Chains A and B, each alone.
Chain A
Amino acid sequence: MTDTRSRCAQPPAARAVGSAEKTTQARLKVLVAGHDPSVVRTLEKTIVSQGHEVAKFLDSDRARERCGEEFFPLLLLDRHMVPVDGLEFCRALRTGPRGAEREILIVTADDSAETAHAILAAGADDFLSKSWPPDLLDARLALAGQRAAVKAMGGEIGAQGPIGRAFADGVAQQAVEESLALVEQVKREWESTADSLPQLVCLLDDQGRIIRANRTSEAWGLRAVTEVRGVALHDLFHPECRTPACYMADVWRKARTITAKQKTAEWEVEDTTLGRWFHVEFRPIKKRLDGRTVVARSATVAIFEDITERKLLEMELARAREQEIEIGSKIQQSLLIGEPPRDLPGLTVAAMSIASQKIDGDFYTFFRPNETTLDVIVGDVMGKGVPAALIGAATKNHFLGAMSHLMTRAAGGALPEPREIVAHVHAEMAERLIQLDSFVTLCYARLDLEQNRIVYVDCGHPRTFHFKRSRAECVPIEGINMPLGFTPDESYDQVVVPFERGDAFLFYSDGVIEAGQTWGNLFGQERLSEFFIENSTVPPSELIERIRTAVIDHAGSSDFSDDLTCIAVRVDEARAAATRPTLLEITSDLGELEKVRAFVRSFYNDQEDWDQGEEEEFELELSVNEAVANIIKHAYGGEPGHPISIDAQRSDGRIVFSLFHKGKAFDPDTAPPPLFDGSRDSGYGLYIINQNMDQVTYTQEHKGRCLIRLVKDRRKSRKERD
């Protein structure tokens, strides 16, 4: 074999056409078949110049016929022929009579390795490429001719004989090597292209092991391209990692199931080990080419793109956005949302406002013009973002201003009507709102506990619900006005609706009824109204909480695109008889102090759900004691027999002691401050009261009655306050 090879190692081109060897050549009959006349002619010319005879056909059927009639030792078949292509023909010839004695060459345009394989597999002895230069063609044909001659001679040096075989093998081998070299060259071209890509491209087999990878593997410091073969994808990235739960292995598993269906799988993954983000693509490789099976070891192409930079930018942006939202919600909280009043006799109020992802323009505020009236203003500014929030704040401000302005004007201390207030605000804001292309929907509701009615001005806001306890039904309050800022002049009408004790009202923004994932599946007013009816006996704060959870459940997420604002007001039932008196009336006698203290203690202990401990009880006892002592000593100048009444109230978050007397109005600042050096033995009283209570006010009421109001908030002990 070696000898033959060394002999054949001589480049065949050296054997030029027309050399002395020609004389050893027999004159052969050559069949040339192909569909392209020019190719056939070229071949014919070459063969004729080598001294053979040519029979040419453009049709494989005719060629076959002729083969049947005559024996051709050398056949040149074009691969693509009609009706039977070259490979079929070749196979047929081989399996036919004298099949092994023929020398068959296939002519093809495709010089890929696959084609070469196919050709040889079909039984051809060699192939010719149409793209070869003529002298190569020449040389190869000459060789073929020699082989054919050898075969035709038969015998030991026939094609079946050892020498001939070795010769043929060697020649064939060389041919294969050459074509492989070509393929190699092409391959290298592709490789350098692949290596120049910034992405990491790996060919994986069906087990997830790498067959080849481009040089990006080295650029990323993973492995050299020569060392990747057979390495599992996971091990390429995490050589040290032993975690079976490592994301990379998971990724391959998932990819496999997808690519098995001939689909492309792609994700973005974060690699915590390497600290980078990747965009990963797994593409299945077509195993079939032109309908024929192509032997391919690789099953998938995996493409990794490093997107760390982009990801970091995205995360920063998200963070910045979150900060904005936080600021926005802080603005909202501080400017737009106020605390509902807590200690309203006769009414219980609860409010909730949940900021949406964007800053919205919801706002609400409460006024208490007097002890028996509560004004509720709920509004929504059209638009979103900080401008809307600021307009909301400005609107609130205008209401405050309007209120104070009209109140100071009103004769006899009568309250201005809601419609006057709204009209006033509108007059001030309309032009500017129109300029800003914005408008404000709101409703202004005044709950009058003396006349048991609600005076309501609605400006385009969602209908407030009025729950009537006597009928257990929920009725929306109708309003007819336009939102503020629609038209420059607008008159506002108000509606008066009577209510009874036990009734409740629900104010809300459109964020509540429009919560929902899609149109047609919104929360809606009916649902809200039914919900209100169902939960009518629940205290307002609980009701609000339930509405919130219901909306979240309905929307499927707790992120909303619109603010949720909801205010519930319940008119308390007629007060049940108190279990213990919350009013104590005494006379200005220091001996009564014991009674006062006992009163404070019993009131405190009555508050079952206010368990703050003994220390707070003592603080209250001491403070009220000091306050009463001061009244006796200073307001009444020590004279006995004057009335003092102490009223104890407990509302949601605070305990309030109101002390009424008719003595000299007590000016806390005329009392000298206490000196803590023992030189004085008075003046501690006020200090003690101020330290122990959260709020102390001294006011003068009508008809010479003075009020000292001591307030203690829940959970605020002296320590926490510091």
Chain B
Amino acid sequence: MKTVIIATGENPEMAALTERRPVPLLPLVDRPFVEHIVVHLAGRGLREIDFLLSHMPEKFEALLGDGSRWGARFAFHLARDAARPFRTLKALRLADSDEPILLGFADRLPPIEDADRLPPIEDADRLPPIEDAAPRPAPTAFCWRRTDRPRSETADGAIGRDDSSAGTSGIGTIGAVTGACAATFAPTATLSPTAAAPAGTERSELEWTGWAIVTGRDIDRLPDDLDERGFEDYILSRAAEEGRVAEIGRPLALRSYGDLIEIHRRVLNREFDSITPAPSETGAGIWLSRGLSIHPTARLIAPVYIGENCRIAIGAQIGPGAFVGDNCMLDARCQVVDTVIAPGSYVGEALDLDGVIVDQNRLINTRLGADLVVPDNFILGSVWEDTLRRKSVNVIRRLLVAFLLAVVWPLLAATALGLKMGRTGPVVFRRKAVRLPARHERSLWETYDLLSFLPDHRRARSWIGDLFLNFLPGLINVVRGDLSLVGLPARGPDEIAPLPEEWREFYLSCRAGLVNESDVIFDETPTGEEAFAAEVYYSVKMGVVYDLKLLARYAARVLMMQRRGRRGERSA
């Protein structure tokens, strides 16, 4: 029997996690979710699988290949609309009208725990003849019974709600139904919530697991423009009318952030024996892989799974309900409860994680539904100085410059006046510059207008010229707090963006100033590399003393009435 898996991969609710990979490729314990599905199907003899892909299909194909890894044959189809791939499904004509196919969604894994007890299916043709079967195979929808006891439903759905359904009568598995297909299961075709529920105390309803056996005809008759809900209704109605609804155990579903945590918890609680993690269980409910470095004072509380090569630092408390992927580092005294940590992540010191998904630089709080991207600077520690000190230093500096400005104000006014009289056209030019320090994202850059008496911040011919035409008006910006006296050259957004990445990164994290190292050191216009070297050098050396030194040098040049040359000229 052919299988069709709808793996459109997109789930708007889980946008933060699906940035890097589609939902079915999120890991469950040691391998991607969809791989578990494939393994189980192949193990039950269902080896021809067609995938319907939409979001990041290349990732699916890279993982699954052509199927030979599991002795199966895969085919991939692309669907244009991830939310409504059913029209494409219709067009594919994957089965003849009377042929059954097993249809399912890649973000739901139905229970196959009874697989060992039942014989594997090699070929649909070898099924035992069905006595009371209808002349054509009937569509079967696999549902599970959700029981809601009105007990305390805590925010952590896994604990509060008791919706285990394994153990009620008529439980089978997909394999059982496809194998026997007959009298073993009485159709429990009730879908309404009131059925079979003792009044008042408990509500139970049948929910679709996302998996069904349908015929080609059913697919042909799919109405157009169905979304997933519509599709579910259609399948259930087909099953109710012409087929049966089979009740099986509760599937592992990956449809929300909370689901990710819950499926891990269920697996670690051994509800799905077929997905028991490979590394040995070293204590009841504690799974530890190889290459671990766990500080003796770290506490592990079951159920907890730690992947390979992880480092758990002093005083950490991991669990209950913690799943840590490979190559993670959990720093000192962190607390990790009911949390899934994707491989390669770092959890910092004294962090308290509860109901959270950590995916490298993304932190997703499943209770609040909030997600946070942690930029690199944050993890390495603040690149900038202590805020309070910085602020106070800033204020003092500005006051000093304001004082200076007050002193030289007449000069400034005189220059302006002189220029006004000598020039036609505008006297004061404004140039957009980005306020530093700034964030990485361009959209977050704030700009200000840098004042100057020269257009386009052209270099003045002499240092005195520079003093009057660039420096003095720039003081106003300094007083305003846009930039400081000494720093890196102010640049506009269009000048910053084309810089090479490292240069840009470190430039954005420094501070800008009127007087620059490269200005003062070079007589000629520096080349790109020279400018970069100068800026790096300044950023390493910067500090009050060095700034003063630069200012002094600047003053010296002015006083010595030097000329500033262009490249190829030598200064006097």
Residues of A at the B interface (CB closer than 8 Å) are: 316, 319, 323, 397, 401, 404-405, 407-409, 667-669, 697-700, 719, 722
Q: How far is the CA of A397 from the CA of B537 in the complex (A)?
A: 11
User: Is B534 among interface residues, defined by CB-CB distance under 8 A?
Assistant: yes
Residue contact A401 to B20, C-beta cutoff 8 Å = no
Residue of A nearest to B20 (CB): A722
User: Is B59 among interface residues, defined by CB-CB distance under 8 A?
Assistant: yes
- Given the interface pairs A669-B497, A719-B59, A719-B62, the reply to whether A404 lies near B293 with Cβ below 8 Å is no
Question: 7 closest pairs, A vs B, by CB?
Answer: A404-B533, A669-B497, A404-B537, A719-B62, A667-B498, A408-B534, A408-B533
The 18 listed contacts between A and B (C-beta, < 8 Å) are A397-B540, A401-B537, A401-B540, A401-B541, A404-B533, A404-B536, A404-B537, A407-B530, A407-B533, A408-B522, A408-B530, A408-B533, A409-B521, A667-B497, A668-B498, A698-B498, A700-B528, A719-B62
Residue contact A408 to B498, C-beta cutoff 8 Å = no
Residue contact A408 to B293, C-beta cutoff 8 Å = no
Contacts of A409 in B (CB 8 A): 521
Residues 201-221 (chain B) with a chain A CB within 8 angstroms: none
Smallest beta-carbon distance A719→chain B, Å: 5
Residue of A nearest to B21 (CB): A722
Contacts of B540 in A (CB 8 A): 397, 401
Interface of A is mostly: helix
| 16 extra interface residue pairs, beta carbon distance < 8 Å, beyond A408-B518, A722-B20 | A316-B296, A323-B293, A401-B541, A404-B536, A405-B537, A407-B533, A408-B521, A408-B522, A408-B533, A408-B534, A408-B537, A409-B521, A667-B498, A669-B498, A698-B498, A700-B528
Contacts of B498 in A (CB 8 A): 667-669, 698
Smallest beta-carbon distance A670→chain B, Å: 8
Q: How far is the CA of A629 from the CA of B534 in the complex (A)?
A: 36
Q: How far is the CA of A323 from the CA of B522 in the complex (A)?
A: 48
User: Is B45 among interface residues, defined by CB-CB distance under 8 A?
Assistant: no
Q: How far is the CA of A668 from the CA of B500 in the complex (A)?
A: 11
User: Is B526 among interface residues, defined by CB-CB distance under 8 A?
Assistant: yes
Residues of B at the A interface (CB closer than 8 Å) are: 20-21, 58-59, 62, 293, 296, 494, 497-498, 500, 518, 521-522, 526, 528, 530, 533-534, 536-537, 540-541
Q: How far is the CA of A207 from the CA of B536 in the complex (A)?
A: 80
Q: How far is the CA of A722 from the CA of B58 in the complex (A)?
A: 12
Smallest beta-carbon distance A351→chain B, Å: 22
Residue of A nearest to B517 (CB): A408
Residue of B nearest to A667 (CB): B498
Contacts of A667 in B (CB 8 A): 497-498
Residue of B nearest to A699 (CB): B528
Residue of B nearest to A404 (CB): B533
Smallest beta-carbon distance B325→chain A, Å: 15
Smallest beta-carbon distance A33→chain B, Å: 75
Q: How far is the CA of A700 from the CA of B21 in the complex (A)?
A: 37
Q: How far is the CA of A404 from the CA of B535 in the complex (A)?
A: 10
Q: How far is the CA of A514 from the CA of B225 in the complex (A)?
A: 78
Smallest beta-carbon distance B160→chain A, Å: 37
Contacts of B530 in A (CB 8 A): 407-408
Residue contact A697 to B534, C-beta cutoff 8 Å = no
Contacts of B518 in A (CB 8 A): 408
Q: How far is the CA of A719 from the CA of B62 in the complex (A)?
A: 8
Q: How far is the CA of A410 from the CA of B497 in the complex (A)?
A: 29
Q: How far is the CA of A320 from the CA of B362 in the complex (A)?
A: 32
Smallest beta-carbon distance B537→chain A, Å: 5
Residue contact B62 to A404, C-beta cutoff 8 Å = no
Residue of A nearest to B56 (CB): A722
Contacts of A319 in B (CB 8 A): 296
Q: How far is the CA of A165 from the CA of B528 in the complex (A)?
A: 125
Residue of A nearest to B568 (CB): A412
Residue contact B59 to A408, C-beta cutoff 8 Å = no
Q: How far is the CA of A405 from the CA of B546 in the complex (A)?
A: 14
Q: How far is the CA of A668 from the CA of B497 in the complex (A)?
A: 9
Residue contact B20 to A408, C-beta cutoff 8 Å = no
Residue contact B537 to A697, C-beta cutoff 8 Å = no
Q: How far is the CA of A697 from the CA of B500 in the complex (A)?
A: 8
Contacts of A669 in B (CB 8 A): 494, 497-498
Contacts of B59 in A (CB 8 A): 719, 722
Smallest beta-carbon distance B77→chain A, Å: 20
Contacts of A405 in B (CB 8 A): 537
Contacts of A697 in B (CB 8 A): 500
Q: How far is the CA of A408 from the CA of B497 in the complex (A)?
A: 24
Contacts of B20 in A (CB 8 A): 722
Q: Max chain B CB contacts within 10 Å: which of A316, A404, A668, A722? A: A404
Residue of B nearest to A695 (CB): B501
Smallest beta-carbon distance B568→chain A, Å: 10
Smallest beta-carbon distance B174→chain A, Å: 32
Q: How far is the CA of A698 from the CA of B540 in the complex (A)?
A: 26
Smallest beta-carbon distance A264→chain B, Å: 35
Q: How far is the CA of A323 from the CA of B297 in the complex (A)?
A: 14
Contacts of B58 in A (CB 8 A): 719
Contacts of B500 in A (CB 8 A): 697
Q: How far is the CA of A87 from the CA of B387 in the complex (A)?
A: 101
Smallest beta-carbon distance B440→chain A, Å: 14
Residue of B nearest to A370 (CB): B529
Residue contact A408 to B526, C-beta cutoff 8 Å = yes
Residue of A nearest to B532 (CB): A404
Q: How far is the CA of A627 from the CA of B381 in the complex (A)?
A: 38
Contacts of A323 in B (CB 8 A): 293
Q: How far is the CA of A700 from the CA of B541 in the complex (A)?
A: 29
Contacts of A699 in B (CB 8 A): 528
Q: How far is the CA of A316 from the CA of B296 in the complex (A)?
A: 8
Q: Max chain A CB contacts within 10 Å: which of B293, B533, B541? A: B533
Residue of B nearest to A668 (CB): B498
Contacts of A401 in B (CB 8 A): 537, 540-541
Smallest beta-carbon distance A367→chain B, Å: 12
Contacts of A316 in B (CB 8 A): 296
Contacts of A700 in B (CB 8 A): 528
Q: How far is the CA of A319 from the CA of B20 in the complex (A)?
A: 37
Residue of B nearest to A412 (CB): B570
Residue of A nearest to B442 (CB): A669
Residue of A nearest to B63 (CB): A719
Residue of B nearest to A326 (CB): B293
Residue of A nearest to B62 (CB): A719
Contacts of A668 in B (CB 8 A): 498
Residue contact B534 to A404, C-beta cutoff 8 Å = yes
Contacts of B296 in A (CB 8 A): 316, 319
Q: How far is the CA of A36 from the CA of B186 in the complex (A)?
A: 113
Q: How far is the CA of A4 from the CA of B270 in the complex (A)?
A: 82
Residue of B nearest to A702 (CB): B527
Residue of A nearest to B570 (CB): A411
Smallest beta-carbon distance B503→chain A, Å: 11
Q: How far is the CA of A667 from the CA of B499 in the complex (A)?
A: 10
Smallest beta-carbon distance A722→chain B, Å: 6
Q: How far is the CA of A612 from the CA of B406 in the complex (A)?
A: 68
Smallest beta-carbon distance B504→chain A, Å: 10
Contacts of B293 in A (CB 8 A): 323
Q: How far is the CA of A669 from the CA of B530 in the complex (A)?
A: 23
Q: How far is the CA of A469 from the CA of B266 in the complex (A)?
A: 68
Smallest beta-carbon distance A566→chain B, Å: 28
Contacts of A397 in B (CB 8 A): 540
Q: How far is the CA of A405 from the CA of B518 in the complex (A)?
A: 11
Smallest beta-carbon distance A665→chain B, Å: 9
Residue of A nearest to B523 (CB): A411
Q: How far is the CA of A74 from the CA of B521 in the complex (A)?
A: 125
Smallest beta-carbon distance A326→chain B, Å: 8
Q: How far is the CA of A698 from the CA of B501 in the complex (A)?
A: 11
Q: How far is the CA of A242 from the CA of B360 in the complex (A)?
A: 51
Q: Max chain A CB contacts within 10 Å: which of B521, B528, B537? A: B537
Contacts of A719 in B (CB 8 A): 58-59, 62
Q: How far is the CA of A5 from the CA of B406 in the complex (A)?
A: 131
Q: How far is the CA of A698 from the CA of B528 in the complex (A)?
A: 12
Smallest beta-carbon distance A528→chain B, Å: 35
Q: How far is the CA of A323 from the CA of B497 in the complex (A)?
A: 42
Smallest beta-carbon distance A248→chain B, Å: 26
Smallest beta-carbon distance A703→chain B, Å: 13
Residue of A nearest to B530 (CB): A408
